[in-house]
Structure 1
Amino acid sequence: MGRRQSRESAMQVLYQVDVGKMAVDEAMQNIQDNFMLTGPDLEFASHLVHGTLDKLDELDKTIAGYSREWQVERMAAVDRNILRLALYEMLYARDIPPNVSINEAVEMAKRFGGAESGKFINGILGAVVRARA
């Protein structure tokens, strides 16, 4: 399956926890059952979910700092969770180049978000990269 499926699964878990107020373990089990994630793919998805949730306050503050017109809690839930996941990768997964995280986030936004989601996510994540350079 690979990392793309792991990222999509992780985003869906984050969405279920955020919007559905589902317990993390229950949401992870749903993803595992529905997408047959196993082995390294499941480990990567789990790492992304738990890492993102552990750093949620910090990630949301960073996102808020770069999204001038949008408060994090008012963003579309899909966009918010894609941003959280990608930003977690960019800041804490040193083995993943930021451009890979951005590209994957934009692709997820095109697949799961609204018409402008890809541009919105690319703009925020690009600004983070430029500010950290």
Structure 2
Amino acid sequence: MRSSEQSETLGIGALAERFGLAPHVLRHWESVGLLAPERDAAGRRRYGAADVVRVAVVLRGKEAGLSLEAIRTLTAGSPGVRRAVLRREAETLRARIAAAQASLDLVECALGCAQEDLAACPHFRPVLGNRSGSKKRSVPPPA
């Protein structure tokens, strides 16, 4: 026998409110295959405990920067396909982390610079890397 908690379902408005979403977001996720709610006799969507978990998975995936397509593959794909997507996403995240670290290095360098003009700071210029249009990693100081 199922407990009342297991058999309890939520309407689209209640589920959306629970996660701070607009109902149209849940409808969209259904249209792209991320959700498949049951329907009651009147045809209204009814979300169970598994749907609540699925919404949490989708939100966490989006927080990690995953596309809805990638999330769908991760939740429904074969183990081999899932691993390929996870490898690709891990590489993308590593690149984003490296870019964020480079940005933090630039900001911290600027914060520690006593020069009035950052462009004149000999410590700041190398942190700019190849953003000056030069093929070299650092820009020589002005003559």
- With the length of structure 1 as denominator, give the TM-score of the two structures: 0.29
Q: With CA pairs under 8 Å and 6+ residues apart, which has the higher RCO, 1 or 2?
A: 1
Whichever structure has more helix as a proportion of its residues is 1
